[in-house]
Amino acid sequence: MHQKDSSGNTALMRIMTSSALVEDRLESARILLSHAATIRDYGSEDEQQESLRMAVRLGDLEMCDLVLSIGRADPRSLLTSIDQGEMIFPGEMTDNEGPLPAMVQLLRRHTETTSLSPDL
């Protein structure tokens, strides 16, 4: 799960950028993340954040939700980056239209859930 290819991408990152159908990408990611959760191998915090950042950059709300809920990525650092004006979204997503507001809402919702959940 955490091995990287020659381009520095993990299996999850390759799934995210695959040209496969959306449903197939989501199912593949769900299987991979569920397996990692079963053996409690979530990877390093950096790997989790890297996967979450990629899903956000791609504007893939469903993939973000999977990485947050099953992959246990912490959305707080991304929200801090957004609040400080750091550009983590493609330029065309920075307005009030498109996936940006929904993405921020999703990250905030998972932040509330993360802060309420006991550490494992």
* Whole-prediction pTM: 0.74
Q: What is the pLDDT of residues 37-85, one digit of tens each?
A: 777 666 667 777 888 889 988 889 999 999 999 988 888 877 776 656 5
3-state secondary structure of 28: helix
67: tokens are 């990485």
Please provide the average confidence, as pLDDT, over all residues in the chain. Answer: 79
3-state secondary structure of 23: helix
What does the alpha-carbon distance between residue 36 and residue 70 come to, in Å, rounded to a whole number? 9
46: tokens are 């950096």
Q: Where are the domains of the chain?
A: 11-116
